[in-house]
Amino acid sequence: MAMISEIAGTEWIIDAQGCLPERLSDEALLRGLCQQIVRDLGLTVLGQPQWHCFPPQNGITGLTMLSESHLACHTYPELGLATFNLYCCREREAWPWEARLEESLGAQLVIVRRVVRGAADLYPLPSAHVAQQEAPR
């Protein structure tokens, strides 16, 4: 059986640091943010997104199944950190993660990594694109 040479999908791996802790335990805000990502990129949700709040720090996990693959969100209020994975089996335009996560979560540093899935000739992974908010808030 031949190895494939096609690309099966693109995954964006986002780590947003220096976020405002109270926003990272705000489930309604995070649900709205994930809905905005889905809407802006024209993605299609399958079934019901799953959300869970983890006491005592009230970190939140959200998993959304998409007809294009999936969107995952995990927050860590105690670290000021939110992480996202957006896996799309079809090519999509980039979402403005840096600007949106600064606005919505108060992120000070947003690391966006893009990983191609299913293509053996494309590892190691490309280096990160980093946007850092310079101005103090």
93 is an interface residue for its own copies by CB under 8 A = no
Q: Which residues fall within 8 angstroms of residue 56, CB to CB, at 6 or more apart?
A: none
* Phi and psi angles of residue 77, each rounded to the nearest 5 degrees, phi first: -55, -35
DSSP H/E element including 35? helix 27-40
Residues in the interface with its own copies (CB under 8 A) total 50
17 is an interface residue for its own copies by CB under 8 A = yes
72 is an interface residue for its own copies by CB under 8 A = yes
Q: What b/e sequence results for 24-52 when a residue is b if at least 16 CB atoms lie within 10 Å of its CB, and e otherwise?
A: bbbeebbbebbeebbeebebebeeebebe
10 is an interface residue for its own copies by CB under 8 A = no
CB of 99 to its own copies, least distance (A): 18
For residue 70 the two structure tokens come to 């999936």
Q: Which residues bind its own copies (CB under 8 A)?
A: 1-4, 6, 8-9, 11, 13, 15, 17-18, 46-47, 50, 52, 54, 61, 63, 65, 67, 69-70, 72, 74, 76, 79-81, 83, 85, 87, 89, 108-109, 111, 113, 115, 117-120, 123-128, 130, 137
